[in-house]
Chain A
Amino acid sequence: MEHDLIKTVWRKVVLMDGGMGSMIIDAGMREGDIPEAWALKNPEKLSAIHAAYLEAGAEVIQTNTFGGSRLKLHSSEAGAKLDPVEVNRKAAELAIKAAREHDSRDRFVAGDIGPTGLFFPPVGQLDEETAVASFEEQAKTLAEAGVDLILIETMYDIREAVAAVKAARKATGIPIIAEITFEKRPKGYFTMMGDTVEKVVEQLEAVGADALGANCTLTSEDMLGLVSEFRERTALPLVFQPNAGQPAIEHGKAVYRQDPEDFAKDLELIVRAGANAVGGCCGTSPTFIRAAHDRLTLTG
């Protein structure tokens, strides 16, 4: 069978993995560390996180390269000392090794690309050419290391998402998924910059994304309403990765209190509303993914 996620999502619902940041913190990353740098110093711990998600039933695992673009890495003093090519290659190799070691055929490794942290005008001075160059290097490195697809995520400005998809297209022929971050406002779903679902779908289709969707910020309950808005506007596969509720502060630590079972129930509704792949974002863990796996398998 051909190892192509886009073909797989038309055959069956695909389960993605969940949050990485909180897992890394629990595994001992200290304050102020850069997750990508920490993971390279603690490869066995990152491998264990990937393995836990695979064990829980995730069919797609995401490389620990969210902040791995050159622009993002080099925006901090500690990150400026790192070589983006090395950071992305090693993180991809660890995820690929974890997927191979897991006793299953149909597992995919998504090369994860997050925002640069810089802003287009009028908020900042980022331009498309600069953004594309940074994303292209990251996508090329991840693809050459052997990931199965590129997952562009947590994009709050459609211009940056478009730059990332264009860059990934230039760099590689593997499938590209683009997930945008929406907020629920009194007048509907918008990105931080005011982009609508209509605009997001139109522009991502135009630059050749193979699948679209949303992640982060929204709870699983709020994400549900967004799914049908996407489904009405596109025939492409849809991917959604909501947060586990809203964070509460307990003893100075962010705690997500949503019950994994409730999260799994919402994911099931998200699938019914038209999603082809689902997973988690902030606050989710292998426990959430296992709950989703059991629920989706039971009813699928």
Chain B
Amino acid sequence: MEKFLTECAQSIIDGNAEKSAELARMALDDKHPVLEVINKGFVKGIREVGRLWEEGAMFLPELVMGAEAMKEAMTVLQPVLEEDAAGKSAAGHVVIGTIEGDIHDIGKTLVATMLSANGFEITDLGADVPVVRFVDEAVEKGAGCIAISALLTTTMSGQKKVIEELESRSVRDKISVMVGGAPCNDDWAKEIGADGYAGNAVAAVQLAKRLTGA
């Protein structure tokens, strides 16, 4: 079992989506405990990918391939998890998008992929998302968190507007808000009353876990 879990982790580190999906199917066929395979195998791999990336030993292509491999494995395992947990996502629901007027979505997509790889249910609204739509979607889907990306100094004020919209609909206490993007930082998050800032996709996963208690 130990060796199998190490193989699972390694398939993610190698960014080998074919291998990770095959290992996930194997886990089901051999009736391995699914949660253990995820947490001690695949998740360990994606964490290592995140660590190597932060260290500067891995770059964007490897990070994306690792996340893709994780997604493939989770696609195989998710249905079984959902049977076990009666449809509840393991880590909570995040509505994510790039704010109105801003078409940069690589960072946002990366965060969405990494969150999904870490067990979050994701509603990705894409780029150029109107303020109202973030709130509409979060309320409708019962999401506990909104993640807003802004890559321009001219669009970052939209992040503040989402928070104001949440307040005006009296749902701010139910939905946490995380912000990211090149011009943002911790001070900006504080200034606009967001619950946190993450500087990269790996930090975003940690922040989302903290905010949703996952």
A-side residues, CB < 8 A to B, are 22, 25, 29-33, 75-77, 117, 119, 122-124, 185-187, 190-194, 247-249, 252-254
Supposing A31-B101, A122-B68, A123-B106 touch, asked if A254 and B60 sit within 8 A by C-beta, the answer is: no
A248 to B157, CA, bound (A): 15
* Minimum distance in angstroms from A215 CB to a CB of chain B: 15
B56→A187 contact, CB < 8 A: yes
**Nearest CB in chain A to that of B154: its residue:** A31
Interface residue? B95 (CB, 8 A): no
Contacts of A75 in B (CB 8 A): 103
A-B contact pairs, 14 of them (CB 8 A): A29-B154, A32-B101, A32-B102, A32-B155, A76-B103, A119-B106, A122-B65, A123-B106, A187-B56, A191-B59, A247-B183, A249-B183, A249-B184, A252-B156
A117 to B185, CA, bound (A): 23
Supposing A194-B60, A249-B185 touch, asked if A254 and B100 sit within 8 A by C-beta, the answer is: no
Interface residue? B33 (CB, 8 A): no
A123→B128 contact, CB < 8 A: no
Selected contact of A252 from candidates B62, B100, B191, CB within 8 Å = B191
B59→A194 contact, CB < 8 A: yes
**Nearest CB in chain B to that of A194: its residue:** B59
**Nearest CB in chain B to that of A24: its residue:** B154
Contact with A along B150-165 (1 / 0, CB 8 A): 0001111110100000
**Nearest CB in chain A to that of B182: its residue:** A247
* Minimum distance in angstroms from B48 CB to a CB of chain A: 17
A271 to B191, CA, bound (A): 40
A123→B64 contact, CB < 8 A: yes
* Minimum distance in angstroms from B179 CB to a CB of chain A: 11
Interface residue? B40 (CB, 8 A): no
Selected contact of A25 from candidates B57, B100, B153, CB within 8 Å = B153
